[in-house]
Structure 1
Amino acid sequence: MAQPGLRALHQLLWRHWSGETTTEDGARRQWWAALQVIQEDLSAQLGEAPSGQEGVWLAAPLPALHEPNLLPALQGWVWVPERFSPWVLNLPLLPGQATDEADPWSPLTLQPDDGRDPFLVLVTRHLQLAISLRPVADQWALLVCFDGAVVFQALELLRRRLLQENPRHGRRLRGVLERLGPVTMTDNLVSERRFWSALACRLASMPPSLTVTASPVASSPGGADQDALEPNGTTTELEFLEALSHGIRTPLATIRVLSRVLSRRADLGEDVQRQLAQIDAECTAQIDRFGLIFHTAELQRQPKAQQLLSRTDLASLVEQQHSRWQQQLEHDGLQIQLELEQNLPDVMSDPLLLAPVLAGVVERFGQGLRSGTTLHVILSRAGGKLRLQLRGDSQHGRDKPGETHLGAVLTWEPETGRLHLSRSAIRQLFSSLGGRMAERGPQQLTLFFPLAQGL
């Protein structure tokens, strides 16, 4: 007997849908915001329940839940693409491997006829819902279903799929549901009205870009940019990167908030305050790093889309970032020296994105310099552009470890464990920010930015 395809699940969930559509980017933002609202509410329930909150969740094509306090209390199953199964099973940044009955989630393999539209089916004692994301005509839509009858029909379909795919998983799901007992929706927990209100608030709290002028993505003179990243990443690869970066940034943001709350206490010694500041700085650096990965993955979806740029005081931005860059470089025994021309004009870019992008470039460039080297950061005018140069004062660079490409966006250094954006991804990022990058060996990197209009 053929396994029930997951397409049947989407047909069940969407058969009575009559909602609004939006762009793919807008729908995916709604998806991630919805997951965060759900996890925040579940976390609150978990804190109120003396014996913990038990339930089940099933998702594809990526792990939808990531909060560490939820995973031990909920049994989960995730269908992932076959090409990602070995990677997912060995990622310490996601929930653990499914090696025994006590594991919080179990990765399974998607079949060719399952499709790749994301979904999550969640059932606890007091909350039952299903969410799904899919294209509708030439737009996209998010569906959130609180209809208990539909949710349990979806759960039964998935249980039959598990029984045929792996009877052990099917029996495990049945056992969890039996222990769960009767499930009810209560007024003091998430209702559909409360959910949409919380989702609207979360979407409204996302900061807008500082944008005043639309500009097409810059390209090299004479035609297409030969160094630009080709849009060859599959949708599943990009979704995986988005999920990974989202899952890492969220707990880091929680750690940073807690460290900042602790730092306000007056009874802490100088050593503790210094350590909290280090925690804050490291969390901020990693949040920015994985935020760039998320942004780069989104950029792959629309590589020729227009970017909205604004006037940016690049000289002030470099000066403001100087101390942070110095902290980054001190880990590798490097110093930094700024050389800025006076009275430099503004450029056209996106200052909110440019700061973390430059921080990533400075860090990666510094890793190619020998310990004891001084990194010179030189900002000057060059015709109708500003030129930002990174240059080491040593004749010899550090031996670079080998790199492995993980799809179109990332590279990984097995010897050091460092994860980076690929060079082509960085070039595309600078292009989207109105700039252009030119490398002249391991000891010099030059970035060009167009002057703001009217100068």
Structure 2
Amino acid sequence: MIARERVRGMPVNTWYAPTLSEIIALGEQDILGSLMPNAALPPLDKTPEQRQASMERQWSGAIAALNACFAAMVPSSSDLGHSAIGVVLSGPAPILQSGLADHVASWTMTAELSLADWLPYHLLPSSETSAPHPFSTPSTLPLLGHDPLAQEQFCLALTPQFGVVMTLGRDTTGDPVFLVSFVPDVVMQAWRSLRSRLVLSAPHVLSQLDHLVQQFTPPTPDYRVVTQFHRLMLMHLPEPNHGTVHNIDVAPSCPVDGFQPMPVQGQALHSTHLDTHGRADVELLRAIAHEVRTPLTTIRTLTRLLLRRKEVTPDIAKRLAMIDRECTQQIDRFNLIFRAVELETEASKPCAQSLASISLKQVFHDGVPQWQERASQRNLTLDVRLPQTLPMVVSDPVMLNQMLSGLIDRITQTLPSGSHIQMQVSLAGSQLKLQLRSHLDHKGDRPIPDPVSYGFFAPTLQSIGDLLMFQPETGNLSLNLDVTKNLFQALGGKLIVRHRPHHGEILTIFLPLETRSEA
């Protein structure tokens, strides 16, 4: 099981059987790589403790969702029999609720004497005696010493409707990571990896397991099954434990072009006043955002699975890529709406302490091609002017990218064909200044739209509740300006909007620069 190798003169241990984290990561990387060969996941600006807590919450939610799925499959009392409704291999602790153990064939794979360390509590045996059930007591299967799989929490589940494999482990950089896959090939690779271990440690169970795996060979799941699983997972996510967060030094604010210092600590951020009716709207919007994101995520996943197939023609692949791109844009949009809902509720107030030092170079490197593509799709041009050196700022990298994308969408949705957008980034004292301007393009032979007849820069926007604006001409939903300003304030910055009749808006964003205190 172990091979001894040398990499650049250093001896390393390499297991022939990969861990489940490695299998899932490679499988999902293949899906992403088929679409975007040069794509890389953005770095998460979280401390190791925060990331560990986040991954553990996702693992707990996924385990609860799986138990809920099994519970829905349990036959009625009149149909009870001794046939299993599924198979579960988990480690290093059992994951099934006690009532499901009677219906699911389950085994726990664990290193010797380590099971108790992973169990948060032990259940006392029932005082009532009952007839034994063939699946009532999960069997424990050993893992060989020094198997890296023993350092992961994992679960492989097979049912007539789907197969799933998920792990709570570490990625190639050693950071904690939660991974899940419904892809049949990935699930079967995970089973083969576990089976190769059992050949050495527990060959006596292989005959029974092989029969059950053949009985529950994972099919390509219905998208509704995957959607329901992720919905249940989100419903069962444990509440985050808010611990101590370290502060980051921010450059002191100074007045720049009328820019006033931001409240940073101990000052409540302004939020839109929500009465009882408004709060009901917010809860409805929260539910709608969730219901929209979940199926879009499923559609995007299935689209990427289709793109992996060899028989897909270039023309079909192009259309599938368009579906993937549109799903991603809408998912990001509703992520932003969902974040705005959180900001506007008292239960989740943003705080400047949660912000991190980020590189704007990476933000623009990832965002500019996407923004220019969106502008090009509407026959607009986007010119981005950046200084030679981009400083570090204090913000939220993911949310900042989504906010900038949202502003680009807001502008492109309101401009007629042939317009031009200019984005200019510069230093303004102790802040970074990002300005967006829009105007008609007078170059070339293209006809110049008449500002009045086109209603140039003055789209018909209708207010929907306290948070959203609706544009009937395009069907586009966007956050209103007050909420958008609040979101930028949550990022540690400020948004200023200047209206120019028939000449468009000037959007100016200020972000605080990072300063590192010298020891």
Q: What's the TM-score, normalizing by structure 1?
A: 0.53
Aligned to 2:469: 411
Find the aligned partners of 1:333 and 1:393 in 2 and give their Cα distance: 14
Measure how far apart 1:199 and its partner are: 5.5
Aligned to 2:412: 366
Counting only pairs closer than 5 Å after superposition, residues 142-181 of structure 1 correspond to structure 2 as none
Confirm whether residue 306 of structure 1 aligns to residue 306 of structure 2. Answer: no
Find the aligned partners of 1:43 and 1:272 in 2 and give their Cα distance: 39
Confirm whether residue 331 of structure 1 aligns to residue 381 of structure 2. Answer: no
Measure how far apart 1:453 and its partner are: 2.2
- The C-alpha deviation readout for 1:338-384, integer Å capped at 9, x for no partner, is 11001121100000111111101111022233311221111111111
Measure how far apart 1:327 and its partner are: 2.2
Q: What letter corresponds to residue 386 of structure 1 in structure 2?
A: L
Find the aligned partners of 1:275 and 1:329 in 2 and give their Cα distance: 19
Range moving further from structure 2, 257-266 or 305-314: 305-314
Identify unmatched segments of 5+ residues in structure 1. Answer: 1-25, 50-125, 127-185, 190-194
- The C-alpha deviation readout for 1:88-125, integer Å capped at 9, x for no partner, is xxxxxxxxxxxxxxxxxxxxxxxxxxxxxxxxxxxxxx
Measure how far apart 1:35 and its partner are: 13
Aligned to 1:231: 273
- The C-alpha deviation readout for 1:137-183, integer Å capped at 9, x for no partner, is xxxxxxxxxxxxxxxxxxxxxxxxxxxxxxxxxxxxxxxxxxxxxxx
Secondary structure of 2:460's partner?
A: coil
Q: What letter corresponds to residue 467 of structure 2 in structure 1?
A: V
RMSD: 4.3
Find the aligned partners of 1:279 and 1:39 in 2 and give their Cα distance: 32
List, as ranges, runs of 4+ consecutive aligned residues in structure 1 with deviation greater than 4 Å: 33-36, 42-46, 186-189, 198-202, 222-225
Change beyond 3 A, Cα 1:373–1:200 = closer
Change beyond 3 A, Cα 1:200–1:237 = closer
Secondary structure of 1:251's partner?
A: helix
Aligned to 1:432: 490
Asked whether the equivalents of residues 262 and 489 of structure 2 are also in contact (C-alpha less than 8 Å), the reply is: no
The structure number with the bigger radius of gyration is 2
Change beyond 3 A, Cα 1:285–1:35 = farther
Measure how far apart 1:301 and its partner are: 1.3
Confirm whether residue 252 of structure 1 aligns to residue 296 of structure 2. Answer: yes
Change beyond 3 A, Cα 1:429–1:43 = farther
Aligned to 1:445: 507
Aligned to 2:247: 213
Q: What letter corresponds to residue 239 of structure 1 in structure 2?
A: E
Counting only pairs closer than 5 Å after superposition, residues 28-427 of structure 1 correspond to structure 2 as 37=65, 41=69, 45=73, 203=237, 213=247, 221=260, 229-232=271-274, 234-302=278-346, 305-307=350-352, 308-394=354-440, 396=451, 398-427=456-485
Find the aligned partners of 1:35 and 1:242 in 2 and give their Cα distance: 24
Asked whether the equivalents of residues 229 and 408 of structure 1 are also in contact (C-alpha less than 8 Å), the reply is: no
Find the aligned partners of 1:294 and 1:35 in 2 and give their Cα distance: 24
Change beyond 3 A, Cα 1:200–1:364 = closer
Measure how far apart 1:402 and its partner are: 2.1
Measure how far apart 1:326 and its partner are: 1.8
- The C-alpha deviation readout for 1:366-418, integer Å capped at 9, x for no partner, is 22333112211111111111111111242857253322212211111233322
Find the aligned partners of 2:420 and 2:322 in 1 and give their Cα distance: 23
Secondary structure of 1:415's partner?
A: coil
Measure how far apart 1:228 and its partner are: 5.0
Measure how far apart 1:243 and its partner are: 0.4
Range moving further from structure 2, 35-44 or 321-330: 35-44
Find the aligned partners of 2:498 and 2:385 in 1 and give their Cα distance: 19
Find the aligned partners of 1:386 and 1:223 in 2 and give their Cα distance: 14
Find the aligned partners of 2:474 and 2:482 in 1 and give their Cα distance: 21
Question: Paired residues, what number?
Answer: 279
Find the aligned partners of 2:330 and 2:270 in 1 and give their Cα distance: 25
Identify unmatched segments of 5+ residues in structure 2. Answer: 1-53, 77-102, 104-134, 137-157, 160-228, 442-450
Change beyond 3 A, Cα 1:448–1:257 = same
- The C-alpha deviation readout for 1:46-100, integer Å capped at 9, x for no partner, is 9x99xxxxxxxxxxxxxxxxxxxxxxxxxxxxxxxxxxxxxxxxxxxxxxxxxxx
Asked whether the equivalents of residues 423 and 437 of structure 2 are also in contact (C-alpha less than 8 Å), the reply is: yes
Find the aligned partners of 1:393 and 1:401 in 2 and give their Cα distance: 15
Find the aligned partners of 2:233 and 2:298 in 1 and give their Cα distance: 19
Change beyond 3 A, Cα 1:434–1:223 = closer
Find the aligned partners of 2:247 and 2:335 in 1 and give their Cα distance: 23
Asked whether the equivalents of residues 272 and 483 of structure 2 are also in contact (C-alpha less than 8 Å), the reply is: no
Measure how far apart 1:205 and its partner are: 13
Measure how far apart 1:316 and its partner are: 2.5
Secondary structure of 2:511's partner?
A: strand
Change beyond 3 A, Cα 1:329–1:229 = farther
Change beyond 3 A, Cα 1:430–1:222 = closer
Q: What letter corresponds to residue 439 of structure 1 in structure 2?
A: V
Change beyond 3 A, Cα 1:339–1:212 = farther
Find the aligned partners of 1:222 and 1:252 in 2 and give their Cα distance: 40
